[in-house]
Amino acid sequence: MSTIIYHNPRCTKSRLTLDILEEKGLDFEIIKYLESPPSFDELKALIIELKTDARGLMRTFEAAYKENNLDDELLNEDELIQAMINHPILIERPIVRTDKGVAIGRPPENILAII
């Protein structure tokens, strides 16, 4: 597996994380997830690898979270994952996947353990 960064160019943390990958001289693929959201299965796999749940990967302060009543505790994991696919702005960023694991670059130095 190659290194992948799920990237939002408008996000400072995402840009700083991208800088770390470049400084380390790694070959990596950039996925602009707002334009090309991960599939349901990809998101589910990321959640499992991050050892979290769907809400742990969600940006709960985004307007789309409130507008879609995603704070409803009755929503299950699959419904929350589908909401992230429908509204990719809800996906926490940046996410980096390498052969050594997956990490969220908040702070960007979090990815050092997996590169």
Tokens of 9: 């160019």
Question: Across the chain, which distance is largest between two alpha carbons, in Å?
Answer: 45
Q: Say which residue the tokens 């597996």 belong to.
A: 1
- Among candidate residues 1, 9, 11, 69, the one labeled active-site is 11
Q: What is the pLDDT along the chain (115 residues), one digit of tens a residue?
A: 589 999 999 999 999 999 999 999 999 999 999 999 999 999 999 999 999 999 999 999 999 999 999 999 999 999 999 999 999 999 999 999 999 999 999 999 999 999 9
The verdict on whether 11 is a catalytic residue reads yes
Tokens of 86: 């429908």
Instruction: Read off the pTM.
Output: 0.93
